[in-house]
Amino acid sequence: MSEFRYPATGSIRSGGGCVDQLGDALDEIGATACLAVVTPSALRDTALPARLTAAAGGRLRVVFDAVLPHTPYDTVLAAAAAGSRAGVDAVVSVGGGSAIDTARLAALCLGEGVVGAEELHELRVTIGPAGPEFPAASARALSHVAVPTTLSAAEYSDGGAATCPWTSRKELFAGRALACDGVLVDAALATRTPEEIWVTTGMRALDHAVETILSPLSSPLTDETSRAAIVLLRDCLPAALDAPGDESVRARGQVAAWLSYLGVANGTLGLSHAIGHQLGGSLGVAHGTASCIALPDVIRFVAPFAPEKIEELAAALGTDDPAAVVDGLVRRLGLPRRLHEIGIDHVDAAGLADAVLDDFLVQGTPGGPPGRADLVRLLESLV
């Protein structure tokens, strides 16, 4: 038996140049004044601000470009304050996962009147006696149109993550109000994203697809879309390095990221993502890099608990050793496979294990959340 719930994402426009349809997307949600949250790297294209302003029909009231990795609370609150001063009624994001999550959570703060870190903290997902609890599920948020420039696939999520300043943990916020009301998937704009960022975030998309197949909550539909995503990413990520300016290669990557996320609304993420969140919050490891480091090891770790799922994954990758194929892809892309390769020679594995076990995504691990001692050993092996 399986159950499937369609994601809450609104209209999705795709194709080279579709960023110029931003005004149409804003018309659909009735936006009259917008906060634009833009990743700093996107502004290297000096023509982009004027293009966005024109496409929005003059509705961009303020541009917030102080986006930081892992979405610190203070950044979210600063973006919300900028929007509040400008009297905005909608939010636009341009960039990768950090920009999209900053915009998403700023929209939540603006909708709920949140102005302080303690108030924001109260809206995070927690694990109670009966399982995960979602305070933001009944919250209000301003409408949000996303223009993604990486393969993080955050634009298809109805949740986001931010780093709490007093715990250094990546905390999750989830509810249908946090889903994007419009998405503009522009392959031409994506050709300006540096290759390393593109393929690293592509590994994050691969992580979505792999964990969806492994999940006990997967469905026939999400198994098929995840398999398709895996095949596309296996081929188009190396191609993006070989042909960095090829719009068709970037477009295939965007389709793969889209396919990789159809299962996530059904709770299909698991241990690799839980580890990635906490490597990010405590050690500053980028999401995609965390997937490169953790995913092959997680596949091996959960294999005894999900043999049939491993067979499905092996079939998608055309191998009897899916972890080895993912490992090989990481190496082929020139990305790190161990923490010491990015300058981290020691971790507090016990503290990280506690943070991972407090991350509600760990509930999606095949066989259930791992034992603490086993998890500590797994985390130590990632160094």
- pLDDT computed for residue 2 by the predictor: 83
User: Which residue in the block uniquely carries the two structure tokens 């109000």?
Assistant: 177
- What SS3 class is residue 371? coil
Nearest to 177 by CA among 154, 161, 158: 158
pLDDT tens digit sequence for 352-365: 999 999 998 999 99
What is the rounded CA–CA span in Å between residue 350 and residue 342? Answer: 21
Q: State how far the Cα of 292 lies from the Cα of 237, in Å rounded to an integer.
A: 13
Here the tokens at position 247 are 């719009």
Written as six digits, the tokens of 38 are 């833009």
At residue 161, the pLDDT reads 95
Given a cut of 70, the residues of the chain with pLDDT beneath it are none
Q: Residues 141-175: pLDDT tens digits?
A: 999 999 999 999 999 999 999 999 999 999 999 99
pLDDT at res. 91: 98
Per-residue pLDDT at 108: 98
Which domains are present in the chain?
11-189 (3.40.50.1970), 195-381 (1.20.1090.10)
Q: Residue 129 has what pLDDT?
A: 87
pLDDT at 127: 86
Mean pLDDT, the chain, rounded, equals 96
CA distance 28 to 25: 5
**What does the pLDDT read at residue 131?**
83
What tens digit of pLDDT does each residue of 17-44 get? 999 999 999 999 999 999 999 999 888 8
Please state, in angstroms and rounded to a whole number, the distance separating the CA atoms of residues 90 and 60.
9
In the prediction, which pLDDT does 17 show?
95
Residues in a beta bridge with 64: 37
Q: What are the CA-CA distances from residue 290 to residues 36, 274, 297, 383 (Å)?
A: 28, 10, 11, 11
* AA letter at 81: A
Whether residue 63 contacts residue 36, with contact meaning beta carbons closer than 8 Å, is answered with yes
Given a contact cutoff of 8 angstroms between Cβ atoms, the answer to whether 145 and 184 are in contact is: yes
pLDDT of residue 45: 85
Rounded to two decimals, the pTM is 0.95
